[in-house]
Amino acid sequence: MIRSINMKKSILNTMLIVGLCTLLTGCLGVKSEKEKNHTDKSIESESPADIFTNESSEQSLGAFSFGPVSDHDERDIYEYSGEDIRIPFQVAGMDKKGNSDFGLLVFLDGVSQPYRIEESNGASSKEQVMHKFYLEGEESKQFEIVFTPIIGKKGEKVAIDFATVFQPDYVPEDETATNYGVYHDLNATLPQEVHFKTDIPNSAKHSIYSQSTIQEIPEEVKSQNDIFQMEGSSDIFDEMTIVELLPEDESSEMISAKNGKAKMKFRIYGGPEVTYRTTIFVNHIPVQVLGSDFIETSLQKGKMNTVEFELDTSTYGKVNTVYAISVVAGKGYLTNAESPLKTKSILLLNES
């Protein structure tokens, strides 16, 4: 019997959205409770570009909860002993009048973990990185998340994170409206834990890129973030980690690919001195960068880590979405480090 659902989450992104919307005279309606992992959003129009039009009327974009099923509020521990890890899970709509659309991701020790869904009737999905849900009203679904770990060694204890990307099917129509607004916002549970009683099959190796450029956080960047200064804190970057994915032309609101190549840079800075693993996603699918599965950066106080790279876009259509998600690795989940963190989604346009 399901007694409760462990649904705790970080609410920093929601706080920022609420603060922004206060300045914009209530363009959005976002609610959150720290002790429950749920997302509730409404917006005045279907497109972020139309938010400020007088004709638009408030429209709910859905509200939902998600998380592992548990009979307690403590961190859940799952063991790997050579068999698939199976995690009871539930997603539930919370908007009687609207639908809730989101994609569910799983990260193991900071790495994007493919998984499949198994239902009580025996139905099983194919294994993939993101599974999308389209809940009507207060519809709920219970199932098991099932996977063989792609990372981990005997004796290790690592974090497992569950995160959702809001309205993943949204893509701007073209370069005239590049703002994603609240679409693709990320929400996550607090990390749970996996204990490895044995090695994973074949001891799969991951290619890691860790050669970032390290510099002092520029004064220009510091001044741009003064608005987030927390009371009693001498330095905002002692408290908050920031991740950014930027076009080669930083003044642009989109990334233009020419001759099947797109140049961009990833930056991460601030917060505790922990190690993050960052995955680049194109159209919600992880892609390799610089011949590697993910970027690994170890943060230092007052320093900014930057990685410049080029993506091959020759196999993509004209309009695409690119973003990065950074998740703490190792024992970083036992600190107060923010994780997972997502950059804003950026329109990736293939020019002919």
pLDDT, average across residues 134-157: 96
Q: Is 4-201's fold the same as 208-350's?
A: yes
Higher pLDDT, 346 or 220: 346
CB 268 within 8 A of CB 241: yes
For 208-350, CATH gives 2.60.40.2550
The domain spans of the chain are 4-201, 208-350
Q: Round to whole Å and give the CA distance between 259 and 352.
A: 8
Question: d(Cα 177, Cα 175) in Å, to the nearest integer?
Answer: 6
Average pLDDT over the chain, rounded to an integer? 84
pLDDT at 131 over 50: yes
pLDDT at 92: 97
Please choose, from the candidates 86, 88, 293, 65, the residue with its C-alpha nearest in 3D space to the C-alpha of residue 187. Answer: 65
Instruction: Give the rounded percent of residues in the chain with a pLDDT score beyond 70.
Output: 80
Quick one: pLDDT at residue 233?
58
- pLDDT > 80? residue 162: yes
Give strand ranges (E) for 44-84.
Answer: 59-70, 77-80
Q: What is the pLDDT of residues 246-291, one digit of tens each?
A: 999 988 999 999 999 999 999 999 999 999 999 999 999 999 999 9
State if pTM tops 0.95: no
10 Å CB burial of residue 332 (0-12, 13-18, 19+) is buried
Do strands 77-80 and 192-196 pair parallel, antiparallel, or not at all (unpaired)?
parallel
Structure confidence at residue 177 (pLDDT):
83
Cα 77–78–83 angle (5° rounding)? Answer: 165
Q: Beta 294-298 vs 208-209: how paired, if at all? A: parallel
Q: For 292, which DSSP code?
A: B
Q: What is the mean pLDDT of residues 72-78?
A: 90
Share of the chain above pLDDT 90, in %: 68
Whether 60 has a pLDDT exceeding 80, the answer reads: no
Indicate whether 25 pLDDT > 80: no
| Burial class of residue 255, CB neighbours in 10 A (0-12, 13-18, 19+) | buried
The tokens describing 186, both together, are 């990320």
pLDDT for position 56:
46
Q: pLDDT digit string (tens) for 89-103?
A: 999 999 998 999 999
Give me the mean pLDDT over the 42-69 stretch. 64
Residue with tokens 């410049």: 308
Helix (H, G, I), strand (E, B) or coil at 300: coil
- pLDDT, mean of residues 124-135: 97
Domain 4-201 belongs to what topology? Answer: Immunoglobulin-like (2.60.40)
The pLDDT value recorded for residue 11 is 32
Residue 86 has pLDDT above 80, yes or no: yes
Amino acid 33: pLDDT:
30
pLDDT digits (tens, 9 = 90+) for 183-201: 999 999 999 999 999 999 8
In the prediction, which pLDDT does 224 show? 79
Please report the pLDDT score of residue 39 as a whole number.
Answer: 67
Residues 6+ apart with CB under 8 A from 118: 86, 124, 125, 143, 144, 146
Q: Say if residues 209 and 294 touch (Cβ distance below 8 Å).
A: yes
Contact 333, 277 (CB under 8 A): no
What span, in angstroms and rounded, lies between the C-alpha atoms of 256 and 250? Answer: 12
Look at residue 250 and give its three-state secondary structure: coil
